[in-house]
Structure 1
Amino acid sequence: MTAMDIHEILKYLPHRYPFILVDRVVELEKGKHIHAYKNVSINEPYFSGHFPHYPVMPGVLIVEALAQAAAILTIRSEGTSLDSNKVYYFVGIDAVRFKKPVIAGDQLVLKVVISRQIRGIWKYAAVAEVDGQIVTEAQLMCTARAI
């Protein structure tokens, strides 16, 4: 089991402000699963336009947060880092469901499990929760390419 703070996360993800969507990893088992957090603040840049009268985190950013958690899991499982000669790409999303809006003040709990890895394609079952309730679920895929 591995926990990671934001400084450690930034060693593995190429994303930076305003697009880093994982604040903390509380559990990571290489080759298995990750459990991470995204703290949703009213200061998020997207809230000014989505929507000014009722700020809601865009669903595509919830999926992106899940994808970033999956990327951390994959990179750590492979034993690589940002210094490697690989770039990890998000290549597929299936069965996405948005069940409840995510608003300022929520803590988004990101849970991603590797469901399969074959011929350079990683598949994941991903769930985002707030207060123990599922807000988003999806099946994700990524691949790595040498640079």
Structure 2
Amino acid sequence: MSEQMDVVEIMKYLPHRYPFLLVDRVLEVEPGKTLKALKNVTMNEPFFQGHFPGYPVMPGVLILEALAQAAGVLSFKSVENQPSADTLYFFAGIDNARFKRQVVPGDQLTLQVEIIAHKRGIWKYKAQALVGDELAAEAELMVAQREAKR
């Protein structure tokens, strides 16, 4: 079963807000399996002022963060029908990160995450960020489910 989500729907699942919300649209989600999303990269991104002046490149750590946010949405969609203000998914680890292509203003990142394992509130994902058909970054991500402390 595939489902699309716009940014308003995504914000129901993620606590992130501007300038740190890095998922613009979910194209497909199969709970318990995979999610495919988009991040539109524009010159208006605040990080381009300093990374790098005259040669704007999206920081690799933010590409990984976008993938982790996509994984967080998939985690929520895999365990419950409605997002919960009492539950958060935290970026818990990263393995085998590789950067293959620079991401620059005007690019559209396709974020693909696939669940590898899920045990006791810890999720492991295979994650890839692509620009068109070109691999920009890949990694194995771990996301931990925790209760929000308010």
Report the 3-state secondary structure (helix = DSSP H, G, I; strand = E; otherwise coil) of the residue aligned with 1:141.
strand
Shift of 1:83: 3.2
Moved more, 115-124 or 103-112: 115-124
For the pair 1:97 / 2:98, whether they are aligned, the reply is: yes
Secondary structure at 1:108 match in 2: strand
Q: SS state of the match for residue 74, structure 1?
A: helix
- 2:130 is aligned with 1:129: yes
Residue equivalent to 1:31: 32
Tell me the equivalent position of 1:62. 63
Normalised to the residue count of structure 1, the TM-score between the two structures is 0.97
Percent of residue pairs bearing the same amino acid type: 56
Q: Which runs of 4+ in 1 moved over 2 A?
A: 80-84
Say what the alpha-carbon RMSD is for the aligned residues: 1.0
For these two proteins, the number of residue pairs brought into alignment is: 147
Displacement after TM superposition at 1:84 (Å): 3.7
Question: Is residue 115–residue 123 contact of structure 1 (8 Å, CA) maintained in 2?
Answer: yes
Q: Cα 1:81–1:17, aligned 2, differ >3 Å: closer, same or farther? A: farther
Counterpart Cα distance in 2 of 1:84 and 1:10: 12
Contact 1:12-1:75 at 8 Å conserved across structures: yes
Residues 1-147 of structure 1 correspond to what in structure 2 (within 5 A)?
A: 1-79=2-80, 81-147=82-148
In 2, the alpha carbon distance for the partners of 1:27 and 1:41 equals 23
Cα distance in structure 2, aligned partners of 1:93 and 1:125: 10
After TM superposition, give the deviation of residue 4 of structure 1 in Å.
0.2
**Contact 1:14–1:82 (CA under 8 A) maintained in structure 2:** no
* Residues 60 and 106 (structure 1), Cα distance of their counterparts in 2 relative to 1, 3 Å cut: same
Query: Which deviations, in whole Å up to 9, do the C-alpha atoms of 1:27-66 show, x marking residues without a partner?
Result: 0000000000000000000001000111000000000000
Q: What CA distance in whole angstroms lies between the structure 2 residues aligned with 1:26 and 1:83?
A: 22
Given residue 28 of structure 2, which amino acid in structure 1 is its aligned partner? Answer: E
Mapped partners of 1:15, 1:82: distance in 2: 14
